[in-house]
């Protein structure tokens, strides 16, 4: 337990340090892009957030399969927590994208395949979270596991949207490499590492919280059962 | 100048979302800790 806490503290410190380093790289180290200007720096928030939203939904997908296969509640907890954090990162993508688009495309939003599929992806996982909150205790895990598996179908579609259809969304990372200068690549890598650490830190904390909530519910239910039994004995 | 404003908006909103989420996790954790405390007190009283 103490080791876990110490590990979390170190992890938290490293994440914080990497976040500061990422901010330094974004605002000081990375050059200003010639055609877009300073607004291009949104890219260092937008791209890692998009990657982590996809990654979070992939974890939900794998954990949902493992839950249905093993019937172990721990996988259900991981699937749920990862989906919640995925929605947070997907929200960041859907907000930073239009903020970048307004000065560059002159519109906040356009029904481009990448933008549309990302919005659908966000709706799917918001629906997943809503389903969990309204479904009954015994059905919740099964329903959401099935939803978590089928919902993932939209992730490769969203990822490939800029390759499959004609789109105005920039294609920076291609099979031939990354179409930006070397300091920009370094900055992107630092931002990726910082956001990945933030993602895992959030995931560890969220899973810990969910486990605690389930434990409290379990203790409360067993106490209520005992009280009920005592009342029955006294009545009989 | 307009670019700086958009950039500021993007970074502020991103950090706001992350901080609000961290705050919500910490608030929920405190609520659970209070509930555990209440359950422990109730059990101590019964014993």
Q: Could you list the pLDDT tens digit for every one of the 47 residues in chain B?
A: 678 899 999 999 999 999 999 999 999 999 999 988 888 888 777 76
Q: What mean pLDDT is predicted for residues A151-177? A: 83
Under an 8 A CB cutoff, do B25 and A205 touch? yes
pLDDT band at A219 (very low <50, low <70, confident <90, very high): confident
Q: What distance in Å separates residue B34's CA from the closest CA in chain A? A: 11
What pLDDT is recorded for position A1? Answer: 56
Quick check: B29 and A215 in contact, CB under 8 A?
no
List all residues 6 or more positions away from A19 whose beta carbon is below 8 Å from its beta carbon.
A194, A197, A198
Quick check: B24 and A125 in contact, CB under 8 A?
no
The domain locations on chain A are 2-23+48-225
Residues of B in contact with A223 (CB under 8 A): 39, 42-43
Which sign does the torsion angle of CA A177, A183, A189, A195 carry? Answer: negative
Residues listed for chain A: 236
Under an 8 A CB cutoff, do B17 and A92 touch? yes
Of A38, A198, A216, the CB nearest to B7: A38
Angle at CA A163, nearest 5°, toward A157 and A166?
Answer: 105
Across A73-95, b (16+ Cβ under 10 Å) vs e yields: eebbbbbbbbbbbbbbbbbbbbb
Residue closest to A44 by CA, chosen among A58, A55, A32, A56: A32
CB contact A164 to B (< 8 Å):
no
**Which tens digits make up the pLDDT trace of A5-57?**
888 899 999 999 999 999 999 999 998 888 888 999 999 999 999 999 999 99
Quick check: A26 and A195 in contact, CB under 8 A?
no
Is residue A109 scored above 60 in pLDDT? yes
Q: In whole numbers, what is the pLDDT of chain A averaged over residues?
A: 90
What pLDDT is recorded for position A135? Answer: 79
Backbone dihedral angles phi then psi of residue A155, each to the nearest 5 degrees: -65, -55
Under an 8 A CB cutoff, do B3 and A206 touch? no
Residues of B in contact with A212 (CB under 8 A): 29, 32
């Amino acid at each position: 337990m103490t080791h876990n806490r110490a590990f979390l503290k170190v992890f938290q410190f490293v994440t914080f340090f990497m976040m500061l380093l990422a901010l330094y790289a974004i605002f000081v180290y990375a050059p200003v892009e010639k055609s877009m200007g300073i607004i291009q720096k949104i890219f260092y928030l937008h791209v890692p957030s998009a990657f982590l939203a996809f990654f979070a939904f992939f974890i939900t997908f794998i954990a949902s399969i493992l839950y249905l296969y093993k019937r172990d509640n721990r996988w259900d907890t991981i699937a749920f927590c990862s989906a919640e954090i995925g929605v947070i990162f997907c929200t960041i993508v859907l907000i930073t994208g239009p903020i970048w688009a307004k000065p560059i495309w002159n519109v906040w939003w356009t029904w481009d395949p990448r933008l549309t599929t990302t919005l659908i992806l966000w709706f799917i996982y918001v629906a997943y979270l809503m389903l969990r909150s309204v479904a009954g205790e015994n059905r919740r895990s099964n329903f959401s596991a099935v939803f978590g598996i089928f919902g993932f179908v939209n992730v490769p579609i969203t990822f490939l949207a800029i390759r499959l259809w004609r789109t105005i969304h920039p294609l920076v990372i291609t099979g031939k490499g990354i179409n930006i200068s070397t300091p920009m690549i370094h900055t992107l890598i630092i931002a990726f590492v910082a956001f990945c650490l933030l993602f895992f830190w959030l995931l560890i904390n969220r899973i810990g919280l969910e486990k605690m909530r389930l434990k409290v519910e379990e203790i409360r239910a067993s106490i209520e059962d005992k009280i009920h039994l005592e009342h029955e004995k006294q009545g009989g | 100048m307009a670019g700086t404003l958009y950039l500021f908006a993007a970074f502020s909103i991103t950090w706001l979302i992350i901080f609000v989420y961290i705050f919500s996790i910490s608030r929920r954790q405190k609520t659970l800790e209070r509930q555990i405390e209440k359950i422990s007190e109730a059990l101590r009283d019964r014993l």
